[in-house]
Amino acid sequence: MNHVVVLCAGDMVVGPQVVGALATYFGERPLTVSFWDEEPEREALIRSLAIAAFEGNGSTHQQFFGEIDVALAEAILVLRCAGEDFRPAPSSAVPQFDLTPLCLDDSWPRELTVDLSLVPHQLLRWIRQDDPIQQLLIDHDASPLHDLLDSLVS
């Protein structure tokens, strides 16, 4: 199983962009993705966005809704969207990437093209299909996460 765990996924700057990158990833095998955040409302928002993005792009990735311990035990990759400590901590044997430093330069993720105070509202518009989600997908079609996933997915 190719299980990717996204911690602190409810970060409103990085989380939606990770969803866009995963939704546009078409590797050799589909992924199982777990989104986790300590704030249940933000986690639910990102999970709903992922459903809309995966379906909107014809992705065959599955979301895992089980226990975090199980997700971390099965993970081939752990992505951290914010610098906060997350409990339980992932195993040191699993590759882990903190995406926060990438946000500090201009390489990736790209800044969302919406005022940050409006991000949750824009996510809801995509989830409810009030606005087409294609721009999020187009913006992340050539994400550097794709190369990383290609190196790990077998």
Percentages helix, strand, coil for the chain (3-state, rounded to 5) are 40, 15, 45
As a whole number of angstroms, the distance between CA 28 and CA 122 comes to: 32
Q: How high does pLDDT run on average in the chain? A: 83
Which pLDDT score, from 0 to 100, does residue 151 have?
A: 86
As a whole number of angstroms, the distance between CA 57 and CA 43 comes to: 21
Average pLDDT estimate for 83-87: 69
- pLDDT of 119 over the 60 cut: yes
As a whole number of angstroms, the distance between CA 1 and CA 143 comes to: 22
- pLDDT of 117 over the 50 cut: yes
Portion of the chain with pLDDT greater than 90, in percent: 39
